[in-house]
Structure 1
Amino acid sequence: MRRLGSVQQKIPCVFLTEVKEEPSKKRDCQQFQVVATENVNPLALEANIDCALATEKLDGTCCYVTLYKGQPYLWARLDRKPNKQAEKRFKKHQHTHRSCKGFTWNVEEDFKAVPESWIAAHRVKHHNGQPLPDEHGHIPGWVPVEKDNKQYCWHSSVVDYEVGAVLVLRPTGEDEDMLEIAAVPLAELLEQTLELIGTNVNGNPYGMGSKKQPVHCLVSHGSVVVRNPPLVDFQQLYSWLQENPDGQVEGIVWHCNDGTLIKIHRHHLGLRWPDGRTCLGDRPVVIHVDVTVNEYNSKDLFTSLSGLNGHCFSRLKDIQLEL
């Protein structure tokens, strides 16, 4: 099986993009939007995208599994961002030049503080020991998900450090359509990136759980393969995302053989998301979480799902936890 790419940086669009002076459909208060042209990005051609693995782009928040204090740990995405004054200067430059290029940062003074445990993402460039921002003015990075941090309570709900396991949504391998939610050892996921999805993440486009019974889980990047993906052609991708039942996804991420990641997002093509049903939310799922109450200290999501062990649901969005 090919080694799937780890999501540590912003992924380039499969098409060359341009800036339009119209309010963004993706970000509130942004008075411009980045849209795709019909020209394929040379980076995609160099990476031989026609032979790449097409996978579903998931709408959640990015996570990472690596060591912390000597044991496998779940880390949450935390990009170091500019303070208000620096952001104002950056946006003025961006508006004037219609580009981010040429802007000079003072890393020590222009960026907000981050926790001591923060680490920069892989491949972040450094100068004089200081991590440098990307073209968007962010320094991608990670912080460990610790139990007492309320900011990451939904991340915490899917991990149990005492047992060393996380709740993962993945294809079963037996049926190309069937998914499973399983308790997976953290050690098996070392150096992988995953997407946290669920009730309280990004407006819950997949319809998981409810306010009273929230459901969250992790999905390894690249694990949900797109069936019969369209060719890398603007019109074919547009039609597939707009009309094909398998195209009810946020976008596609191509995992190229050389490790390069390339993406397309519905917003690049002026298409809404979510727009009614979602392909992932409508897939059948089986619960494979077999634990005892005493085995897991987190007597909540792990235990609730254990009570449903072996149960099949016709749609992911139909999972109902017992109160």
Structure 2
Amino acid sequence: MRRLGAVQQKIPCVFLTEVKEEQSRKRDRQQFQVVATATVNPVALEANVDGALATEKLDGTCCYVTVYKGRPHLWARLDRKPNKQAEKRFKKHQHAPRGCDGFSWTVEEDFKAVPDTWIPAHRVQQRDGHPVPDRHGHIPGWVPLDEDNKQYCWHASVVDSEARLALVLRPGADDDDDDALEVAAVPLADLLEQTLELIGTNVNGNPYGLGSKKQPVHYLVSHGTVPIRDPPPADLRQLGSWFQESPEGRVEGVVWHCDDGTLVKVHRHHLGLRWPDGGTSLTDRPVVVRVDNISSISISSISISSSSISSMDLFTFFSALNGRRFSRLLDIK
């Protein structure tokens, strides 16, 4: 598979969208929702979306692997957002006839502070040495994983900081079963400059039903590595039918990776459909565990919750299951 585009910025919808003044199906406090029209986004047409690779859009939190202090390191997503006063001014400007055009930010004064280690995402524009907010008033960025920060405890659970390994869910190497997945301990160096999705028990309400409160289970999944077989074309009606009727359509959405590097997406909420809605395509796939020799690695135990889960637990858990095959990802408990 060719190297796919990393998710550094918000991905545009494959269709042109419009705003409806009604309760969002995606966010409880949002009193409007963004819905897709039948018109394909010119950005998608220009990038030849019909020839793009369609992959599953995963529902988790975005991560990034790049160098920190000279070594490969997992970074968590942290978008820099405006403070309350600046956000109020921005929203007032948004509702004016001219929309977002012409709004002026003073980044040093208008935005909340971020750690000194924060870096802006790729392709964030710079002006006078400062990053420029996007059209949503955010500055996408990253912070290196701090294992002592409980905010990132579930990120820490999928990384062995000493051996520089990550617990990754990916398509299996079994030629006899194209549908199979595998759980593997992958060197962080092999994931450099990739973005990944952290999914699992304590992320985004766990739409996949992974693990349990007693034994939380989390995985990293590199973006673009879960292709959709026989995807429908970028057509509003056909996509709506596919989401509702096809077993393959039990996904949060689709991300198209175009040959020129352009990414476009659609998710169920764009079509007014629920998510999650019953079982998911991902968790019904068979999976093989390939996590070997973890017991021989020296890993420092890091407390990450009140139940004293350590960073070693998931690696030890899967090492004990090495070679096991499960008929469904959901069966790993």
TM bucket normalised to smaller:
over 0.9
Do 2:286 and 2:326's aligned partners in 1 also have CA atoms closer than 8 Å?
Answer: yes
CA offset at residue 272 of structure 1? 0.6
Structure 1 length normalisation: TM-score?
Answer: 0.96
CA offset at residue 102 of structure 1? 3.2
1:217-258 Cα deviation digits (max 9, x unpaired): 100000000010001111001110111111000000000000
Matched residue of 1:230: which SS? coil
Structure 2 partner of 1:6: 6
2:276 to 274, 281, 291: 274
State whether structure 2 residue 53 is matched by structure 1 residue 53.
yes
1:168-225 Cα deviation digits (max 9, x unpaired): 0001132211101000000001000000000000011111100110000100000000
CA offset at residue 296 of structure 1? 4.2
User: 2:116 & 2:269 partners in 1: Cα distance?
Assistant: 35
User: 1:266 & 1:201 partners in 2: Cα distance?
Assistant: 19
User: 2:133 & 2:200 partners in 1: Cα distance?
Assistant: 30
User: 2:198 & 2:293 partners in 1: Cα distance?
Assistant: 22
Do 2:285 and 2:329's aligned partners in 1 also have CA atoms closer than 8 Å?
Answer: yes
Do 2:294 and 2:315's aligned partners in 1 also have CA atoms closer than 8 Å?
Answer: no
Do 1:199 and 1:211's aligned partners in 2 also have CA atoms closer than 8 Å?
Answer: yes
What amino acid maps onto 1:315 in structure 2?
R
Matched residue of 2:295: which SS? coil
2:315 to 298, 302, 305: 302
CA offset at residue 96 of structure 1? 3.6
Unmatched 5+ stretches in structure 1: none
State whether structure 2 residue 314 is matched by structure 1 residue 312.
no
Do 1:19 and 1:98's aligned partners in 2 also have CA atoms closer than 8 Å?
Answer: no
CA offset at residue 98 of structure 1? 8.2
Structure 1 partner of 2:116: 116
User: 1:55 & 1:101 partners in 2: Cα distance?
Assistant: 33
Q: Which runs of 4+ in 1 moved over 6 A?
A: none
Structure 1 partner of 2:302: none
1:2-61 Cα deviation digits (max 9, x unpaired): 220010000010000111111211122222111111000000000011110000000000
User: 1:91 & 1:294 partners in 2: Cα distance?
Assistant: 55
State whether structure 2 residue 95 is matched by structure 1 residue 82.
no
Matched residue of 2:196: which SS? strand
Matched residue of 1:305: which SS? helix
Structure 2 partner of 1:263: 265
Structure 2 partner of 1:205: 207
CA spacing shift, 1:34–1:97, aligned 2, 3 Å = farther
CA offset at residue 312 of structure 1? 1.3
Do 1:296 and 1:302's aligned partners in 2 also have CA atoms closer than 8 Å?
Answer: no
Q: How does 1:98-113 map to 2 (within 5 A)?
A: 99-113=99-113
CA offset at residue 146 of structure 1? 2.0
CA offset at residue 88 of structure 1? 1.5
Unmatched 5+ stretches in structure 2: 300-310
CA offset at residue 103 of structure 1? 2.4
My pick for the range that moved more, 180-189 or 289-298, is 289-298
- Alignment RMSD (CA, Å): 1.2
Structure 2 partner of 1:92: 92
Structure 1 partner of 2:228: 226
CA offset at residue 149 of structure 1? 1.4
Matched residue of 2:269: which SS? helix
Structure 1 partner of 2:66: 66
CA offset at residue 74 of structure 1? 0.3
CA offset at residue 92 of structure 1? 2.1
User: 1:255 & 1:271 partners in 2: Cα distance?
Assistant: 23
Matched residue of 1:226: which SS? coil
User: 1:103 & 1:315 partners in 2: Cα distance?
Assistant: 50
Structure 2 length normalisation: TM-score?
Answer: 0.94
Structure 1 partner of 2:304: none
Do 1:293 and 1:299's aligned partners in 2 also have CA atoms closer than 8 Å?
Answer: no
My pick for the range that moved more, 87-96 or 200-209, is 87-96
What amino acid maps onto 2:191 in structure 1?
L
2:216 to 204, 214, 217: 214
My pick for the range that moved more, 43-52 or 282-291, is 282-291
User: 2:285 & 2:181 partners in 1: Cα distance?
Assistant: 7
State, as a whole percentage, how many aligned pairs show the same letter. 74
User: 1:200 & 1:160 partners in 2: Cα distance?
Assistant: 19
User: 2:298 & 2:198 partners in 1: Cα distance?
Assistant: 20
CA offset at residue 70 of structure 1? 0.1
My pick for the range that moved more, 107-116 or 25-34, is 25-34
What amino acid maps onto 1:254 in structure 2?
W
Do 1:82 and 1:111's aligned partners in 2 also have CA atoms closer than 8 Å?
Answer: yes
CA offset at residue 130 of structure 1? 0.4
User: 1:94 & 1:314 partners in 2: Cα distance?
Assistant: 50
Matched residue of 1:23: which SS? coil
State whether structure 2 residue 160 is matched by structure 1 residue 147.
no
